[in-house]
Structure 1
C-alpha cells in the first residue's frame, strides 16, 4: 500500500451499515404512519418465508469507555433494569399488535451498552417475553455482546438455555496503557475465562472484537493482541478501525488528545500487518473488517454469497425485516428505516402513550433501492453488477468514470457488466462504495460527519 494511495483515499466516509446513511435520511416528510405501512408490507412479504430479525438495545454501562460511539446511559443503579425490560416488552407488544400475524424470529441480537449489565433473571424475563409472542425459525441465530469483566457463567448458561449460541466479547487491545486511555481495563485472564466458559457450555460461535488506531497504540501492541487472541482461537473476529469522531460523541472521546491517535501510514500498517497475522493463523477475510475460521457460519455464508449487512453489522443470513427495540435502535423494512427515541425519558414517555417510540426515519426512493443493492453487494461480496436493467441508473456513467480512476490504482476491475474489488482494493471498499453514493455526491457535508476511511 503506497503512501500516495493512503493520502489519496484517506477521507471521511460512511461505514455503510445502510443506504442512505443516517445523515442523509429525508426526515421531514417521514411519519410514524408511513413506517407502520412500510413495515406491514414488508412483513407480509417475508415473514412466512425467511422470518424477521430483532435487535434489542440494552443501553446501561457502569463506566464510560472513551472509544465507544454507541448510545448508552452510564449508571451503577441496577434498579433501572426492571423498568427498562418492561418498556422493551411493551414496545414489542405494540409491534405484535400492528403485525397481527405471529412473527417468526430468525435472529435476535442483544447489543449495547452492556447487555451483561442486566441480571440473569432480567435477561430471562426479556427473552421469554419476546418468544411468548413469536415462533422461532428452524434455522435461527441468537447472539449477544458480553463484557469480559462482568459476564458470568450464569449469564452464559441462562442465555444458552434460551437458544443463544453466539457471543461476542469486546477485547480492543491488551496493552495496559491503551486500556487506561480508553477506560476499558480488562486483563487477558478475564477474556480467557469467559471464552472458555462459553466453549464449555456449548456456544458454537465465539467472537472477539479487536480495534486498531486506538490512542497510544502502536504496531507491536496490535500484533501482541493478535498473538494472545490466537491462544484462544475465537471462531470469528471483528478487526476494525477506531472511529475518532469526538466532534460528534462529545466528552467521551476527549479523554485523550488528537495527537495521541495513530494516523495514516501507522494506522494502515497496523491493519495490514494485523491482517497478515490473522490469515497466517487460519482466519479468512469476510467482507470489511471481519475474519472467521472455516468452521464458522459466517465463513460458510460468505462462500455461498449469502452474507448480509445491516445496522447490526454483518450477519450470516438475510431477513427483509429487522425490528429494533429499545432506545436509539434502528429498524429496517427494506423499503424504509425508522429510529427510536434516543433519550431514555422520551422513550418511556412515548410508550406511556401506547405509541411505537419512533422519532425519525426515511422512506427509500426507487433510486435509493438500486444504490442500496450495489453498496450491499460490494460490502458483502466485493463485487456488483449492472447487467440487468433493474440495477441501472442514469448517473452510472459518472460512477464508472470515478471507478476508472480506482481501476488505474488497481483497487478494482471493471468489465462491461460490473466491477470486482481486488485484494489490494479491499481496505478501500468504503471509498469504492462512495462512488455509488449519489446522496453524498449531491450534498457534500460542510462539516465532518464521518470517520476517516483508512
Structure 2
C-alpha cells in the first residue's frame, strides 16, 4: 500500500455505519413508532411522488438450501421447496395491503429481488409472484428490474422467465474463487458455472451483470484474490461490488464456524482491499461511490458522472424514488419521512399477513433535524459534496464542522462556508466523513461494537 494511504487507513479503520439510512437502525426511535403513523407517511409519500418518479419495490426471498457462513442476511435454510407457494401468497397479501394504503395505482420504477437466494424459487413460482405484483401496477417507462442469484442454481429457465417479465439486471454472488475460502464460508460455485450463467444472461439480452466480491474473508490471501480478480476480468461483468467482510458472530452465529485467527489481520485486510481496488482500476473499471466499480458504459457510472446516483437500502442505484416499499420477512421500507421494518421470523410474517395485518414491527419517524442530516449524508455518499446556506442542522452543523477538522487536516475534505467537497483521497473514507454528521451516534455512543470496521 502507498505509505500515506496506509497511515490514513490505520487511523480511520474504526467501527462505522454503512449509512444505507440515517438515522442508522440502532438509533431508530422505536418508542414513537406506530402503524398508523407509518401508513400515513406512506400515503403522503405516494401522493407526492408516484406520478412523477414512481416507487421502488424490494422483495426479500429468504430461503437458501445451505448456509453461507459469512452471510449477514436474514435467511431460512431448507431443502423443502414446498415453502415457496405459501411464502409467495403472503408476499402478495402484503402487497395488497399496501395497494389499499396507496389509494391509487402504483407506478413501479425499480424492482429488486434479494435474499436469501431468489433463485431458490422455481422459475414458475417467480413468474407467479412477479405477475401478481405487476397486474395491479403500471411499469414506468424507465423501470429497472434486477435480481440476485447464486451461480450454482441459476438456470437458463430462471433467466428467461425473469427477462420476459422485464428484468434486465443480474447480480451474482461470487465472493471469492479460491477453493479454500469457498470451503470455509460454505459458498461453492465454479468458474464454469459463473461463466455459463453470465454467457446465458448476455445471450438472452440482460444489459447489466454485477458480481459481488468480498475482501477480508477467512483464509483469504493476496495470491487467491489476485487470481479471482484475473478470472473476473476475463468474464468482464458490467459492475462489481467489492466490499469488506463484516465479522459479527454475536449477531450471526454461522460466522462462528471460523474464528478471528482465520481472518486476515488489519494490515493484511488493508492490502487485500488496496490490491483488489488497484487491479479493478487497471482492468478499466471506474470507482463509483463506496465499494462499487463499473465499466464506463454502465449506467451506474454515468449516473454518478451526471449527479443522478442514489443510495437506499438496496445499495447504490441510478433510480431515485421517494418511496421504497419492502415486501417479505425482515424487509425495510422507506417513505423518506419514516422507516419501517417487517418482522424477522418467517412464522410471524406468515401469521400476520394471513390475518390481513401489515407485518411491520419497528421503525422511525424522521425529525426535521434527521431529514437535514440525511440529505447531507446522501449527498456525501452519492455526489461527494454537500452544501448549506444560512440553515443549520437544527443547531448541529457547528459540531459537525468541528469533527471534520482533523479529516480536513488529513486531506480528506475541503470545507468552506457554503459546503463540503470530498477529495480524491477522501473518496475512500466516505463512511468516516458521514460519521462527522451523525448527531444521534455522537449523542449516544455505543458501549459495544454495533458496526463493521471501515476497512
* Range into which the TM-score falls when normalised by the shorter chain: over 0.9
The residue number in structure 2 matching 1:210 is 213
Is the 1:411–1:424 contact (alpha carbons within 8 Å) kept by the matching residues of 2? Answer: yes
- Distance in 1, matches of 2:173 and 2:344, equals 23
Is the 1:323–1:332 contact (alpha carbons within 8 Å) kept by the matching residues of 2? Answer: yes
- Distance in 1, matches of 2:181 and 2:419, equals 43
The residue number in structure 1 matching 2:445 is 444
SS in 2 for 1:298: helix
The residue number in structure 2 matching 1:95 is 98
- Distance in 2, matches of 1:21 and 1:219, equals 33
The residue number in structure 1 matching 2:264 is 262
Q: CA deviation at 1:6?
A: 2.6
The residue number in structure 1 matching 2:108 is 105
Is the 2:337–2:366 contact (alpha carbons within 8 Å) kept by the matching residues of 1? Answer: yes
The residue number in structure 2 matching 1:279 is 281
TM-score (norm 1): 0.98
Structure 1 residues 8-157: aligned runs within 5 Å = 8-157=11-160
Q: Which deviations, in whole Å up to 9, do the C-alpha atoms of 1:132-187 show, x marking residues without a partner?
A: 01000010000000100000000000000000000000000010001111100111
Is the 1:386–1:392 contact (alpha carbons within 8 Å) kept by the matching residues of 2? Answer: no
Q: CA deviation at 1:388?
A: 5.4
Is the 2:241–2:291 contact (alpha carbons within 8 Å) kept by the matching residues of 1? Answer: yes
Q: CA deviation at 1:38?
A: 0.4
Q: Which consecutive unaligned segments of at least 5 residues does structure 1 have? A: none
The residue number in structure 1 matching 2:351 is 349
Is the 1:6–1:264 contact (alpha carbons within 8 Å) kept by the matching residues of 2? Answer: no
Q: Which deviations, in whole Å up to 9, do the C-alpha atoms of 1:93-140 show, x marking residues without a partner?
A: 111112110000001000000000000110000000000010000100
Q: CA deviation at 1:425?
A: 1.6
The residue number in structure 1 matching 2:377 is 375
SS in 2 for 1:141: strand
- Distance in 2, matches of 1:19 and 1:130, equals 29
Is the 1:283–1:293 contact (alpha carbons within 8 Å) kept by the matching residues of 2? Answer: yes
- Distance in 1, matches of 2:398 and 2:200, equals 54
- Distance in 1, matches of 2:40 and 2:110, equals 22
SS in 2 for 1:380: helix
Q: CA deviation at 1:263?
A: 2.5
TM-score (norm 2): 0.98
Q: Does 1:398 align with 2:396?
A: no
Q: Which deviations, in whole Å up to 9, do the C-alpha atoms of 1:246-285 show, x marking residues without a partner?
A: 11112x1111111111132221221122111111111111
Alpha-carbon RMSD: 1.0
- Distance in 2, matches of 1:206 and 1:168, equals 6
The residue number in structure 2 matching 1:176 is 179
Is the 1:248–1:449 contact (alpha carbons within 8 Å) kept by the matching residues of 2? Answer: no
- Distance in 2, matches of 1:98 and 1:38, equals 10
Q: CA deviation at 1:392?
A: 4.0
Q: CA deviation at 1:413?
A: 1.4
- Distance in 2, matches of 1:270 and 1:153, equals 34
Q: Across the two proteins, how many residue pairs are aligned to each other?
A: 452
SS in 1 for 2:250: helix
